[in-house]
Amino acid sequence: CCYFPVAKMRSISATLATVAAVAAAFAAVPPSCAFAPKLATAVLSTPHDAGPAVSKSEAQLSRSSSLTSTSTSLAASASSSSDVDLSDVGFILLAGGTGSRMKANMPKQYMTLRGMPVLHHSLDLFLERLPAFANENGKSGPPMVVLVMDPKYQPEYQPIVDKYSNRLAFANPGDERQGSVENGLNKLVELAGDKCKYVAVHDSARPLVTVKEVCDVVSDAKEHGAAVLGVPCKATIKESEDGSMVLRTIPRARLWEVHTPQVVMIDTLQRGFAKVEAESLEVTDDVSIVEQLGEPVKLTLGEYTNLKITTPEDMDVANAILEERKMDAVDLLDEAYGWEVDMAK
């Protein structure tokens, strides 16, 4: 077996602890700060993450270019969140997934996060916090939220739908995400009619998205026709044809990890669905449909904290982020379920 001197092991442990502490500090820093991408690269990259061999000057130039590009993009889309009009934006909340990777006996959107199901954090955002923010700034909140949910869970959520009867409705999921979004869109158009010009599609497995992020992506969609939240990719991405050997390293500076909400003009999304169906196209997210039409999609800089709950470890991270934000426990019709708010969960 391998042997390492005790002193060497202590040194390695200390180094790992330092890196973990700095990484945790970075996670609490909004990516909109000018130094965030640079700090992310400095803390989270390793010598093995360097990609193809380049000179030091080339690497510095590339990194400087990436920072300049991000800053320019931020400046171009820097409209105040309080100026955004949400009165013509309908929301589709996707909660029909099975959550197989969670290794749990229930879908991830129903697992407990700070005393309430993960799904409730998004419901609270769209039905309570966003309208309250809009009202504080003399504007109206979203007129309608469509909850795409498996019919077997709908009876449990009927009391919440009843509470928000004019602003919340069910739609059934499709076989794939694309079908679920289309079902939700059809229900939104049926109920809201001409009230909604835009639709924002959000995964219920992303409970940490903020009011500011939602307002920013809506603002960009209203300017460009479609927009998606995202963050610059921090990891090095390798391409492989056979899943065994590396084909090439894809330049990281051009890669973005996309999040939700994704916001699109309803008319555009309807035309996109018609094209996808007519040509039997396969799309992986909502703005991919817009891309198939050859129309622009704006990248809206979001936050790295807008993570998707996929594995049990993600729940621990989400709990820590909510604790750091000092968020109050979400309480949507608690008495109807008998759920007790347990801040320790």
**Which string of DSSP letters, residue by residue, matches 94-154?**
EE----GGG-SSS-GGGSEETTEEHHHHHHHIIIIIHHHHHHHTT----S-EEEEE-TTTH
> What pLDDT, on a 0 to 100 scale, did the predictor assign at position 39?
31
- Considering only 26-35, 44-53, 211-220, 264-273, which range has the smallest mean pLDDT? 44-53
Runs of H (alpha helix) within the chain: 6-27, 36-44, 56-76, 118-124, 130-136, 154-163, 177-192, 211-224, 266-279, 286-292, 312-325
With cut-offs at 50, 70 and 90, classify the pLDDT of residue 51.
very low
* Most confidently predicted of 25-29, 54-58, 91-95: 91-95
The DSSP 8-state label assigned to residue 303 in this structure reads -
> What pLDDT, on a 0 to 100 scale, did the predictor assign at position 331?
76
> What pLDDT, on a 0 to 100 scale, did the predictor assign at position 82?
83
With cut-offs at 50, 70 and 90, classify the pLDDT of residue 100.
low
pLDDT of 75 above 70: no
CA distance 288 to 277: 14
Compute the average pLDDT of residues 280-290: 91
CA separation (Å) from 29 to 217, 252, 317, 323? Answer: 20, 21, 15, 15
Rg (the chain; Cα; Å): 22
- Nearest CA to 229 among 268, 265, 203, 195? 203
pLDDT of 298 above 70: yes
Compute the average pLDDT of residues 300-314: 95
> What pLDDT, on a 0 to 100 scale, did the predictor assign at position 316?
95
CA distance 298 to 76: 11
pLDDT of 18 above 70: no
> What pLDDT, on a 0 to 100 scale, did the predictor assign at position 327?
80
CB of 166 closer than 8 Å to CB of 143: no
> What pLDDT, on a 0 to 100 scale, did the predictor assign at position 32?
41
* CB proximity list for 109: less than 8 A, separation 6 or greater: 95, 97, 99, 117, 118, 119, 204, 205, 309
Reported pTM: 0.74
CA distance 91 to 157: 17
Question: Percent of the chain having pLDDT more than 70?
Answer: 70
With cut-offs at 50, 70 and 90, classify the pLDDT of residue 31.
very low
Compute the average pLDDT of residues 298-320: 95
CA separation (Å) from 47 to 27, 97, 251, 284, 322? Answer: 21, 37, 16, 32, 32
> What pLDDT, on a 0 to 100 scale, did the predictor assign at position 338?
43
Mean pLDDT of all residues in the chain?
79
